[in-house]
Structure 1
Amino acid sequence: MTWEVLSIIGTIAFAVSGAIIAMEEEYDILGVYILGIVTAFGGGAIRNLLIGVPVSALWEQGMFFQIALLSITAVFLFPNNLLKHWRRWGNFFDAMGLSAFAIQGALYAVAMDHPMSAVIVAAVLTGSGGGIVRDLLAGRKPLVLRSEIYAVWAIIAGFAVGIGAASEPWQLYALFVLTTGLRVCSYVYKWRLPFRKLQSLDEAK
């Protein structure tokens, strides 16, 4: 049940996130649906490739495809004057998708008896893979590569699942809320990882 709930939350959140970004970039209705679907299922496809699950397993998720399509349709039909206010929620939906899919990916790897390294990689790829593909298709710098903290939260979630600190349903839900909250705080308060900025040749002169 917990697996299903996390999958539904992640699917809706990333489908909505992809649709909102597509409309911000003024894509047509086909582009909105494609970007929403790719965002919702891209991370799972990349994860499956790396941990040895046939990519075709995605096509067995008929219910989740229907949920994604309904979510995208709802966003597309949402009144434009209200949608302007919804755009600020894009990061919140992205945070929910990151958290839900990171935990789901880690659970997937644990169920296959993979080592901790694979559990963390599965968490990161499932949580951020769809967002990376979405941002690239939208012509944006992927969130995971920005200075603000993003993939670190997926790593922490994956580690928690991998060491068994979150195995009971209530623990997984608590981890989901905590990871989402940390991701929201990281972009609201502009938490950043250390970085170095190199001067360009023009600046150096």
Structure 2
Amino acid sequence: MDISLLYFFDLFGTAIFAISGVLLAGRLKMDPFGVVVLAAVTAIGGGSIRDMMLGATPIFWIIDNNYLWVILLTCLTTLILVRRPTKLPWYILPVCDAIGLAVFVGIGVEKSLRLQDSMMIAVLMGVLTGCGGGIIRDILAREIPMVLRSEIYAVACIAGGIVHTSALYFGIDSSPAFLLGVVVTLSIRLAAIRWHLSLPTFQLKG
């Protein structure tokens, strides 16, 4: 994929995930510092862990401070535009999260394949990029991470990552493969939100 286009998607995903962090912080009535922290860990947490695991150091946002500026500007804009986050429709937060999730999975796959050759690792890094920040966000918000609940979340990431890497394997150019993976991840996640699709839960009897 063209580096400039990938960079645009990366900043876009950063903004979207930051919005989901701000909205959750508003729902929990956090102060401005808490809003920024929750937005930041949501936006760059997964990518930070990915870069450390792949040995891509310094981490991306240390090299390029534009990610931090995007987070700060997103926080400020969202706080101005959204006066009463508790009055927002219930689906706003999960839909924002789904968009950021799909974009970040594709970015994680692309970056992983630039640094190593294994498509399995690329899928795993895509899942980590998409889910890592949300896991940290939910833990800080004292909620069970969405990826660990019965909702279809990580499965959507895995499916999108597999479609992305499979498209590359069969000779499809990186840009269409990236978009195809994003569409698959987003479609599955939005379908899960719309129709409340979930995986069976594990529960011990007795």
Fold in common (TM above 0.5) = yes
1:193 is the counterpart of 2:199 = yes
CA 1:125 to 1:79, structure 2 compared with 1: closer, same or farther past 3 Å?
Answer: closer
The one of 75, 79, 82 equivalent to 2:78 is 75
- Amino acid in structure 2 at the alignment position of 1:52: G
Distance 1:119 1:46 in 2: 14
The one of 9, 24, 31 equivalent to 2:12 is 9
Deviations 1:66-90 (CA, angstroms, capped at 9, x unpaired):
1111111111122424772266311
Residue 183 of structure 1 corresponds to which residue in structure 2?
Answer: 189
Distance 1:135 1:47 in 2: 18
Distance 2:174 2:51 in 1: 24
After superposing the two structures, state which structure 1 stretch, 99-108 or 70-79, moved more.
70-79
Measured after TM superposition, the shift of residue 103 of structure 1 is 0.5
Measured after TM superposition, the shift of residue 117 of structure 1 is 2.2
- What stretches of structure 2 of length at least 5 have no aligned partner? none
Distance 1:33 1:82 in 2: 15
Residue 195 of structure 1: SS of its match in structure 2?
Answer: coil
Distance 2:165 2:54 in 1: 15
Measured after TM superposition, the shift of residue 173 of structure 1 is 2.4
For residues 27-46 of structure 1, the aligned pairs below 5 Å read 27-46=30-49
- What stretches of structure 1 of length at least 5 have no aligned partner? none
Measured after TM superposition, the shift of residue 172 of structure 1 is 2.2
Distance 1:68 1:198 in 2: 42
TM-score (norm 1): 0.89
Superposition RMSD on alpha carbons, in Å? 1.9
Residue 140 of structure 1 corresponds to which residue in structure 2?
Answer: 143
Residue 105 of structure 1 corresponds to which residue in structure 2?
Answer: 108
CA 1:127 to 1:160, structure 2 compared with 1: closer, same or farther past 3 Å?
Answer: same
Residue 91 of structure 2: SS of its match in structure 1?
Answer: helix
Size of the alignment, in residue pairs?
Answer: 200
Deviations 1:137-181 (CA, angstroms, capped at 9, x unpaired):
000110100101101111122222323166442442243233212
CA 1:170 to 1:123, structure 2 compared with 1: closer, same or farther past 3 Å?
Answer: same
For residues 39-188 of structure 1, the aligned pairs below 5 Å read 39-81=42-84, 84-85=87-88, 88-163=91-166, 164=168, 167-188=173-194
Residue 117 of structure 2: SS of its match in structure 1?
Answer: coil
Distance 2:159 2:49 in 1: 20
- Amino acid in structure 2 at the alignment position of 1:196: F
| Moved beyond 4 Å, runs of 4+ | none
Distance 1:63 1:139 in 2: 29
TM-score (norm 2): 0.89
Distance 1:67 1:58 in 2: 11
- Amino acid in structure 2 at the alignment position of 1:181: S
